Amino acid sequence: MDNFYMPFVDIALYRQTYKGWKISTRKISDQELVLITSGVGKVKINDKTISVKQNDLIYFKPGINHSLWVESEPYMAFYAVHFSFSETNRFLPLPYLSALKNTIKLQKLFEGLKTCYLNPKFLHEWNMSISLQNLIYEILNEMHNQSSPANVKRVQKLLHIIHNNPLEKYTLEGLCKISKLKKSQLVKVFKEITGVTPIKYINNYRLESSKVLLISTDMKIKEVALSSGFSDELYYSRQFKKHFGTSPSQFKLN
């Protein structure tokens, strides 16, 4: 990953669930990766409920409402790791849910990370950070290797650039130049992957990122807006309320 920042492990675990098991709706201040190793379950992210199964990878970002539960057999089992980056406004170029084809290597890496977390030894923090970096690398590599059309890979590269440089002044013309796609092609493939247009996605990504600053810092709304890529505080506040149903100041208070 370009401009990669050191990740730090907060919690690493393995869990076998049972009928009625659930994590009630919550928001987390760090980030979390969950790999389903067997069984089935349900996940709700914001207002969208999705069925999850073996080999599904879930990515929870800070400040996002989510819940996870089990209704029926086979009961879900999963690995999970909570982590943070040395830079607050740093996220992985991953969707909320990915269906992976081969997770044998990933399961071994999750298990190694869990073992390291439960058995601290010399240079424990460094060891966990390196283990997490290996895990993230293999996840991104596995997703890259899964067969996808050339145009999809170009848009995935764009998403990687956007996630790592969210404050850049992007234009549709500039994104077309980077991806080497025509406007109609770019918009079509981008919407197939993300559900929205490129500019809308960038705006939404900045809004999601700004929630982390509202939750974790004492920055004023204007400072949060500027730090999230919005040059106008009023425009930022309007977009935030339109997207989340509440103003930045109300969100910060709650």
48-53 and 77-85: which strand pairing? Answer: unpaired
153 and 138 in a common domain: no
Up-side HSE of residue 15: CA atoms within 13 Å toward CB?
A: 18
**40 with 131, same domain?**
yes
Q: Has residue 210 got a pLDDT over 70?
A: yes
Instruction: Tell me whether residue 1 is in a domain.
Output: no
Task: Report whether pLDDT(202) > 60.
Answer: yes
Q: What is the Cβ-side half-sphere exposure of residue 134, based on CA atoms within 13 angstroms?
A: 15
Per-residue pLDDT reduced to its tens digit, 81-95: 999 987 767 888 888
Residues 6+ apart with CB under 8 A from 19: 70, 71, 72, 73, 75
Residue 140 falls within a domain, yes or no? yes
Alpha-carbon dihedral angle through residues 131, 6, 95, 149, given to the nearest 10 degrees: -80
Hey, is 141 helix, strand or coil? helix
Total domains in the chain come to 2
> How is residue 9 written in tokens?
């492990």
Residues 71 and 154 in one domain: no
Cα–Cα distance measured from residue 84 to residue 6, given in angstroms and rounded to the nearest whole number: 8
Q: Are residues 216 and 139 in the same domain?
A: no
Tokens of 11: 């919690």
Question: In angstroms, rounded to a whole number, what is the distance separating the alpha carbons of residues 106 and 138?
Answer: 7
CATH code assigned at 90: 2.60.120.280
Which among 127, 145, 163 is the end of a domain?
A: 145
What's this model's pTM, rounded to 2 decimal places?
Answer: 0.61
- Least confident interval from 18-27, 47-56, 152-161: 152-161
Q: Which residue segment(s) compose the domain that 243 sits in?
A: 148-254
Last residue of a domain, one of 86, 117, 145: 145
d(CA 236, CA 229): 9
Q: CB–CB of 88/224 below 8 Å?
A: no
Q: Phi/psi at 61 (nearest 5 deg)?
A: -100, 160
